[in-house]
Amino acid sequence: MTSSSSSSNAYDVPWVEKYRPSKVADIVGNEDAVSRLQVIARDGNMPNLILSGPPGTGKTTSILALAHELLGGPNCKEAVLELNASDDRGIDVVRNKIKMFAQKKVTLTPGRHKIVILDEADSMTTGAQQALRRTMEIYSNTTRFALACNTSAKIIEPIQSRCAIVRFSRLSDQEILGRLMVVVQAEKVPYVPEGLEAIIFTADGDMRQALNNLQATYSGFQFVNQANVFKVCDQPHPLHVKNMVCNVIEGNFDEACSGLKQLYDLGYSPTDIITTLFRIIKNYDMAEYLKLEFMKETGFAHMRICDGVGSYLQLCGLLAKLSLVRETAKAV
Amino acid sequence: MKGSCDLGTPKRRKAEPEEQCSPAAENTKKRKSSAKLTPRKRASKNSTPKKNSTPKKNGSAVGSPDSAWKIDLRLEAKLSAEEDSRMFAGRKIHPFFSLWKVEKQNQGQEHALSAVKREGRGITCGPIHIFENVQDGASPLDWSDWTFLDKTTVADFGTESSNLFVMEGSIESLNFDNLPSSIRPSSASSSHNAMSCSSQLSIQPDSMLEISPPNSAVLANEQAIWPLKPEDAKVDLDLEVNENTFSGHQGIFRKSDTEPLSKFLQESMRSYYHSCKGKAESSLWIHKYKPTKAFEVCGNEEAMNFLRDWLHLWHERRYPCRKGSSNRDQSNRQDDGDNYICSDSDYASEDINEKDSLQNVLLITGPIGSGKSAAVYACAHEQGFKILEINASDCRNGAAVKQKFGSTLESNHGKFKRLLDHTESPHKKTVKLLPSPALPNGIEAEEMGDGVIELITISDDEACSLGGTSPRLRGKSNVFTCGSVQTLILVEDVDILFPEDRGCIAAIQHISETAKGPIILTSNSNNGGLPDSFARLHVSFSLPLPDELLCHMYMVCVTEEVNINPLLLKNFIQSCDGDIRKTIMQLQFWFQSKKYKKDRKVQKVYGSLPFDLEACHQIIPKMLPCDYPSELSKLIEKEIANSITIMEDNSCSQGLVNKELDINERKNDLDVQFMKTDYLEAKVERIKRSLTDCSRFESQHSAISELSHCSGSLVTSSWQKDQSKHIVMSSDSEEKDPNNGHSLDVHEEVYKRHSLESNSEYLCKFQTNQAYPSTSFCKLVCSGLEDSEEERYKYVETAHDACLNETCKSFDMSCFPGTISIPETAIQNGIKPMSGPVSSGCHADPVEVSLNNELTPFTFSVCQSLDKLPQNSDSLVNTEIPESFSKAAVQNLRDGNTETSTVCNVIDECGHADFKWKSKFAESSPSMAMDMVHLWRKHRICQKDLGQHDNPELGVIQVVKLTSGLTNLISEADLLFHGHQQKQCGIMEPLMSLSDEAIYSWYYEQMMMSTVAVHGFCFYAKRISDVGSKFGFMNEVDLTSEMLACTTNVMALGNLSRQDQTKSTSIHAKKQLEVNDPTNIMKRTCLSNAIRSIIPARSSLSMKGLAFNEYISSLRQISFSEGFRISHGSENMRKRRRVAPHYLSRGRMALSPEIISLVCEGDLFRNISSQYTANMESNCT
């Protein structure tokens, strides 16, 4: 789709960056961690941090907002060193660049320290992480480190031992909706409630994806409704998957398989199909016991797909197992 | 042209709803105002007028697409009209009008909902239709797209409303008392969130209130959290009660922690912590509480002593040489100094030996965070060494290492060395300077004085370096003029070397051979990657004990004025795996600046945290209502009492025995009962001498067998039966007469009886010859377990068949080994027994004795049926009816039909009573016809009593099934997580960086698994609470607080720390008391005793069905697992919890004599329960 920006926008800036909060208090979700970051932003003396969590939950935003509040002002550029995935982060960078930054003297107010931000820290090499472990301790009086990563297991254990690990979890639908409404009002986007609901469904706890989908839908169609959202997001259509589940529950196994065939022929990957199927099952109105068994079988199928067994045969096998579960539930 | 048409059409659609919006807005405003005023209960009534108004809108809604379609056709004809309408529509896009659109669309939803209800099948056709639209992009399909939109809206709205209904149902099923209090705060919180999100516009909250509830219904986590919220109200009540307990508990904790410390260490540690306050506020707690002396290090005392002594030896090695050369110092020395010099001159030869033998390389190994580097710095600081450190962040090439440490080899050129030190390590200067402010003022002043003195002879730079030294180094200021301060070379992380650092080990090895100072290497792995030829000493560090670390952390918290519960602190230490540095870092993040914390009520929400299986294992025992009273055991006691009262009529001398039996029953204590039985045996012997009546002996035999049956211990029962048979067999002549009489009637039955009697005679002869101790008899029972298991396995097979004829056949097969023993007994009748055959026979006979005990009732019943033909038909009918109904009962139980299952249980009990009646009838002689009539009548009375107590059994069975489902769910969730962790390990090994998609799918899989686990857990928790509430046992466990308390996740601990101090403290205090409470343990033992008493009575019911067997085995396993959990709960490590047993499939039994007796009977249930579990697993798959 060719995206044409609205004439009312003077800038062509992505909304993800345009509406990124610059204060810790404005961050959406994860209230336990954000409230502690607010205290640190007010009083200073920030410990070394590892912010861990799935994408789109506010890790980078929290670090940048915290650095902005602690060191906002003329010294901001000199006192903050930010390295992200696009930078070279081998062992030489740690031995030379980071160490030189730590040794540099910057005049700061009491309680404030220089900050080294390592975004996407799990993509650092193991050697670089090993070289970093002693530097964090030696220069702890003048420099503090903030690491952001998706999986804390990719950070070596000596680094984890020198930091406080803060885990970010996925945002709830209410939190995403609240933020979307703010952006919708600011950008004067015409919408219907089910359109926003569709965006929240496709984002599934990812704030960045929600904002990008909102902007893409508005740029492409100038109106946010359900049909337009699903055209932009290119995911298996939830109604189609829901129809499959309905056929399984009603005993129409052949129709369910034909529906699955259609999805597979459209080119969706098994991971996309299984993910959407799980979401539909999670929200479907069926007996509690039946829903539990369906989710269980879907989880096992997802595990097999991640192991590399993701053929059409496996997906049909999943539908067959769901049918067996349904037969068992009826017998009981 | 097409673009302009597409742009124009939606604007036209927008324009028309605006015209119709004004009357609809007024109606919606009125409804909103009415909805706000009325309470929530009336909201259901308000929904009905909305339905009434829908037909009006139905007409208008139907007309609007048609009119829009017509206008589109006209617009295509006129281009100029489009331009005008476009300009008009653009201006009207105003936030005020957009709100009206929202309101209109909400009304449209309601209208569409009613429309779809009339046409139910429309939904199924919709998606297929849409699918075709996606493929084709033609313009005529726009109309069908519009139709799809309406149906899509309808479908989603339907699911939302149904979800709301489900939520309401789930709320009602939980505690009814808390509903009004729980619903209002939750709605208030949601409205508050809506208000906070849309504070900019005043009108916005109204629409938000309507939008947010449907979205919340979609959440799976909300469904999981919702049943837990009503229980929050109870927490406040419980916490207030436990506040007093908390205060006492805290006092006890402080006293217990401080007492073990000696006075000296206590005072020094207090000064240490107090001095740390003086440090800068902006430093990390890790640096603030870094140890500066050896005794300040937490844990690892042996390693610390070794390190300190080693450095002290190195310190003394150079010190006397320097002292000997100078003369000015002697005038300052005291008497001790003089002695030191004398000793030095006397033992000069020994010094030479020490120099040669002292090793200069020390390797320190240990896990991460155990304090290796801190220990080195503390000891070096204490002994006055200066540290030259090289670590992984330095370039550690062989040439660079030599170049860096080359200066240390030139010990004579002091000035040159000092200049190099300043340039090479400017950062260490700041580290050295920091400890000086921490010193007391007096010592600090002295240092200043010394510094001033030194200014006379030394330059300014050197004076600054002197300022950083500790007071213990004052004496060395003169030595410093001679030209050298002792240096310590510290090489950090020698096990981590990169290809760029080639040659580092060789360089260090070369330096160690030529250097005259100590060298310390640290690493995480044991060997450190060093070659074997590298001569070195080795010291290993380990993580400190949890108690030591807890004491240390508590002192840190007290110094920082953090008021934390010790139990919560213990959880922090546990979640950080005993890592000192990590624990302090976590504490700083969550607790620093505690003074300025605002008073908020933090909502206890567990849904945002990932699901923790370990916490789930801990909570299961609390969810189950395990205190069901075992009323059946009371009924059994009543039956025995009734049978004993009948025996009182026979003779006065038996009255004494009956009274003793009553006493035994009332106490129901195994130990006392055993002593009573010994006394009873003595009485029996006395009665034997006085009485010679055969029938009385048999009556005593039956009474004693019932008593042992009730007690449930196999050893005691078999012992007593042997004794009684010994008494019976002493009068052989009298018993042979009735045998001869019976031989005329049934030849086969006489043959079987003869074989049984011959076996018992053989055992009696063995007993008369030797008096064996009870322990040897227990060993015999143990050795015979395998044989008995095989026989019981056959017995189980017969139980499954449940056919009378096959039962007889199996009896014949089981009696077959008995016939083999006949020739042996015949041979030995006239010959003295030999040791060999006696020992082999000794092993075989107890097994058959136990078999005889099991099989005797059935054999007698068959004989009795054959003897009395007129009663035979009645007894067969009675036996057949319960068997057929037992299957029906199982099916009805599964369906959950209460009334039918109650009736079936009554019939089962009738069959059981008949069965007992038969056995007793067979054992007694025919002359006791009058007594039989009394027994029969009283058993009828028992039947009525049994009928009244059916309900608890039914509840127990349901709870057992739910527990089985819950534990199976946990096992499968653990399997899913295990697969996930295994994949995670696999990813780390090749060190490949995954793409974003792989990471995303990996995390999404984890999300899916936790959703399955959370959903299932809440599902079963709700069911169990329902069953408990039906049968009068209210489950008062607050799941949310329990999950937070049991979880070792750091975020959960942070959540707990933010709550009120008293609340979190009381939760942990309650948990602590529950483990230590002795009365709780007493309850468990009573429960296990009660269950043990039920098992023998129920063994005869194994033919009735699987439900009873599952019930008995599960109750036994639950009591054992709970007892085990209570006794070992406080000592469990984190890793052991992951090996937590499946509560139903695997039972962990501690071996004791009492339980060994249960194993003989328990094997039967184990097989059946395992089969039952297998059936459930097959059903799940």
Q: Domain of B373: which CATH number?
A: 3.40.50.300
**Residue-range domains of chain A with CATH:** 15-167 (3.40.50.300), 173-233 (1.10.8.60), 238-331 (1.20.272.10)
Say yes or no to pLDDT of A268 above 50: yes
Distance from CA of A13 to the nearest CA of B (A): 23
Contact yes or no for A283 and B391 at CB 8 A:
no
Contacts of B149 in chain A (CB under 8 A): 225-227
From chain A, the residues in CB contact with B193 under 8 A are 174, 178
Exposure class string for A283-311: b at 16+ Cβ within 10 A, else e: bbebebbbbbbbbbbbbbbbbbbbeeebe
Higher pLDDT, B98 or A229: A229
Query: Would you state the pLDDT for residue B453?
Result: 28
Give the residue on B whose Cα is nearest the Cα of A137.
B287
Do the domain assignments include residue B304?
Answer: yes
* Within a domain: B508: yes
The minimum CA-CA distance between A328 and chain B, rounded to whole Å, is 7
* d(CA A220, nearest CA chain B) in Å: 12
Of all residues in chain B, the percent with pLDDT exceeding 70 is: 17
- pLDDT for res B1007: 66
More confident residue, B227 or A190: A190
> Taking all residues of chain B, what is their mean pLDDT, rounded to a whole number?
49
Q: Which of A101, A76, A66 is nearest to A87 (CA)?
A: A101
Going along B256-370, which residue ranges are E strands? 361-365
pLDDT band at B493 (very low <50, low <70, confident <90, very high): confident
**Is the predicted pLDDT of residue A280 greater than 80, yes or no?**
yes
Q: Which of B155-164, B296-305, B656-665, B986-995 has the highest mean pLDDT?
A: B296-305
Report the C-alpha gap between B1158 and B957 in whole angstroms.
22
Which residues 641-700 of B are in CB contact (within 8 Å) with A? none
For residue B93, is it within any domain? no
Contacts of A181 in chain B (CB under 8 A): 197-198, 204, 208
Q: How far is B935 from chain A (nearest CA, A)?
A: 42
Domain boundary among B555, B574, B594: B594
Residue B702 lies in a domain: no
Q: Structural domain tally of chain B? A: 2
**Residue B993 per-residue DSSP state:** P
Tell whether A42 lies on the interface with B, counting CB pairs under 8 A: yes
Give the model's confidence band at B942: pLDDT under 50 very low, under 70 low, under 90 confident, else very high: low
**Considering all CA atoms of chain B, what is the largest pairwise distance in Å, rounded to the nearest integer?**
133
Higher pLDDT, B958 or A28: A28
- Assign A320 a pLDDT band (cuts: 50, 70, 90): very high
Q: What share of chain B is helix, strand, coil (3-state, %, to 5)?
A: 80, 0, 20
CB contact under 8 A, B498 and A127: yes
pLDDT tens-place string over residues A128-170: 888 887 788 888 878 889 989 887 887 887 888 888 888 788 7
In this predicted model, what pLDDT tens digit does every residue of B619-656 receive, in sequence order? 666 565 544 444 444 455 455 556 555 554 544 444 45
Q: In three state form, how does the secondary structure of B27-46 look?
A: HHHHHHHHHHHCCHHHHHHH
Task: Flag the least confident range among A36-45, A107-116, B56-65, B190-199.
Answer: B190-199
Instruction: Work out the number of other CB atoms within 10 angstroms of the CB of residue B263.
Output: 7
pLDDT of residue B505: 78
**Average pLDDT of the segment spanning B126-138:** 35
- Nearest CB partner across the interface for B10, out of A110, A223, A246: A223
Which A-chain residues 60-89 have CB contacts (< 8 A) with chain B?
A: none
List the one residue out of B1027, B893, B1024, B1020 whose CA is nearest residue B965: B1020
Q: Pick the residue with more confidence: B130 or B649?
A: B649
CB within 8 Å of chain B, chain A residues 135-164: 135, 137-141, 150-151, 153-154, 157-158, 160-164
pLDDT band at B1010 (very low <50, low <70, confident <90, very high): confident
Q: What is the CA radius of gyration of chain A?
A: 24
Q: Does A314 touch chain B (CB under 8 A)?
A: no
pLDDT digits (tens, 9 = 90+) for B966-995: 777 777 776 666 565 544 444 433 333 444
Q: What is the DSSP letter of B833?
A: P
- More confident call, A261 vs B330: A261
Q: What is the pLDDT of residues B230-280, one digit of tens each?
A: 333 333 333 333 333 333 333 333 333 333 444 444 455 555 555 555 545
Q: Which residue of B has its CA nearest to A110?
A: B282
The pLDDT assigned to B1028 comes to: 66
Across B862-873, average pLDDT: 37
Q: Is A197 on the interface with B (CB under 8 A)?
A: yes
Q: Token digits for B838? A: 């006696």
Between B670-690 and B694-711, two packed helices, what is the crossing angle to 10 degrees? 180
A127 at B interface, C-beta within 8 A: yes
Residue B734 lies in a domain: no
Residue B187 at interface with chain A, using a CB cutoff of 8 Å: no
Interface test with B, best of A288, A307, A327 (most B CBs within 10 A): A288
Residue B104 exposed, middle or buried by CB count within 10 Å (0-12, 13-18, 19+): middle
**B20 confidence band (pLDDT: 50, 70, 90):** very low
The mean pLDDT of A201-223, rounded to a whole number, is 86
End-to-end CA distance of chain B: 59
- Which is more confident, B401 or B1113? B401
Q: Residue B489 in 3-state DSSP?
A: strand
What average pLDDT does range B860-866 have in this prediction? 36
pLDDT at site B789: 38
pLDDT at A34 > cutoff 70: yes
B116, B122 Cβ separation under 8 angstroms: yes
Give residue-wise pLDDT tens across range A71-125.
776 666 678 888 876 666 677 777 788 888 888 777 777 777 888 888 878 788 8
| Residue at B241: amino acid letter | V
* Contact between B1019 and A292 using a beta-carbon 8 Å cutoff: yes
How far apart are the C-alpha atoms of A101 and A305, rounded to whole Å?
45
Query: Which residues span the domain enclosing B368?
Result: 256-318+356-412+482-594
| Residue A149 phi, psi (nearest 5) | -155, 160
Asked if residue B67 has pLDDT above 50, the reply is no
- Average the pLDDT over each of A263-272, B353-362, B370-379 and give the range with the smallest value: B353-362
Residues B176-213 pLDDT 10s: 222 222 222 333 333 333 333 333 333 333 333 333 33
Q: Give residue B358's pLDDT.
A: 63
Contact B220 A282 (CB under 8 A): yes
Report d(CA B692, CA B734) in Å as an integer: 10
Report CB contact under 8 Å: B393, A288.
no
Answer whether B373 touches A (CB < 8 Å). yes
Contact between B375 and B383 (Cβ < 8 Å): no
Chosen domain end from B594, B615, B633: B594
Per the domain annotation, does B1016 fall within a domain? yes
* Domain boundary pick from B1057, B1084, B1108: B1057
Q: Does some domain include residue B308?
A: yes
List C-alpha distances in Å: B78 to A273, B71, B73, B87. Answer: 46, 11, 9, 15
| Paired sense of beta strands A143-149 and A164-167, if any | unpaired
Q: Are B619 and B1042 within 8 A, CB to CB? A: yes
From A278, A168, A56, A54, select the one nearest B976 (Cα to Cα): A278
Q: Which residues pair with A144 in a beta bridge?
A: A115
Higher per-residue pLDDT: B911 or A19: A19
B372 token code pair = 């290796």
Pick from A207-216, B171-180, B503-512, B1108-1117: least confident: B171-180
**CB–CB of B282 and A111 under 8 A?**
yes
The pLDDT of residue B623 is 60
Q: For residue range B437-458, list pLDDT tens digits in order.
A: 333 333 333 333 333 322 232 2
Given A111, A134, A299, which is nearest B391 (Cβ)? A134
Domain-embedded: residue B247 = no
Residue B602 three-state SS: coil
Cβ distance B1005 to A154 less than 8 Å, yes or no, reads no
User: Are B392 and A278 inside 8 Å of each other by CB?
Assistant: no
State how beta strands A143-149 and A49-52 pair: parallel
Higher-confidence position of A110 and B761: A110
User: For residues B597 and A53, which has the higher predicted lDDT (pLDDT)?
Assistant: A53
Residue type for position B57 = K
**Record: contact A188-B284, CB cut-off 8 A:** no
Q: Which of these ranges, A89-93, B370-374, B473-477, B665-669, has the smallest mean pLDDT?
A: B473-477
Confidence of residue B389 (pLDDT cuts 50, 70, 90): confident
pLDDT category of residue B1155 using cuts at 50, 70 and 90: very low
Distance from CA of A142 to the nearest CA of B (A): 9
Residue B1113: its pLDDT value, please?
A: 52
Q: What percent of chain B has pLDDT above 90?
A: 0
Q: Is the pLDDT of residue B134 over 50?
A: no
Q: Which of A129-143, B387-401, B644-658, B1147-1161 has the highest mean pLDDT?
A: A129-143
Cβ count near B195 (within 10 Å): 13
pLDDT of residue B280: 56
Instruction: Please answer yes or no on whether A299 and B1012 come within 8 Å at the CB atom.
Output: yes
Instruction: Give the pLDDT of residue B646.
Output: 59
Planar angle of CA B665, B667, B672, nearest 5 degrees: 100
